[in-house]
Amino acid sequence: MRPLLTILFLTIGVVSAQVRFVPNDGQWANHIQHRTEVVGGGIQIESKGWTCWQWAPDTSVEQDHHSGSRKGIVWQSQWIDATPIGSTDWDRHGLASDRQHFYLSNEPSQWAEHVQPAAMINADNIWSGIQLRWRGTRRGRAAFEFTVEPGADPSKIGWRYSGVEPSIGPKGELQLIHSLHDRSADFWAELARPFAFQLRDDGTLETVACHYQLTNGEVRFSLGEYDGQRPLIIDPEITFSTFAGST
């Protein structure tokens, strides 16, 4: 497991609900493939999983993330028995009309200009017949979504955490517990209860019972009956506490 990592740039107090996935065009270390801002923290997407950071409640709006003075916590997640994703394996959708420029060191070889964010990124066959999609939500959060093609096995989907302790909450959410978390101070993190569905031939949505299954620290999905001849979509959402000034 790599050491603690920096994930994203977020201006506290001016948080946009627009989540955009910024590719690594040389401005970051090679293992980083995309980064995105979310309400209260950020996500860094890598070949075999992802890393989250979350700003602490006492982080001041005047503090500058470039100086390393901002406080927060970091945890990592790794897919279980998945095919590693190459940086060129992502299909990018909803490309932004603007560009971003990164000058993060004194070395020009590590500068990146005209970097184009995307609203959504997809990678096929992370497990056989299963597509992974990262996207934003209207509330400035991020969700990873799986499309299970007919004949594929959704029980293959799984991941484990390092740095937080997962626990299934009373509403079916997956609570991510860190020693510094404090719900009384509105400092917490979780994955919302998963939502699974299929589309009928007439285009209407048919929900499928879906719950988290937690065994020896491994997170998987427990599913009800569904039509194995149609694609199945499973959609968890990552939620941080919203002390950063947005809901």
- pLDDT 10s digits, 71-121: 889 999 999 999 999 999 999 999 999 999 999 888 888 899 999 999 999
Average pLDDT of 126-143?
92
The helix/strand/coil state of 85 is: coil
For the entire predicted model, the pTM comes to: 0.84
Q: What is the pLDDT of residue 94?
A: 94
The C-alpha atoms of residue 66 and residue 71 are separated, in whole angstroms, by 12
Residue 241 has pLDDT above 70, yes or no: no
pLDDT confidence tier of residue 127, bands split at 50, 70 and 90 = very high
Rounded Cα distance between 69 and 97, Å, is 32
Tokens representing residue 50 in the block: 């992802």
Please give the pLDDT value at position 64.
46
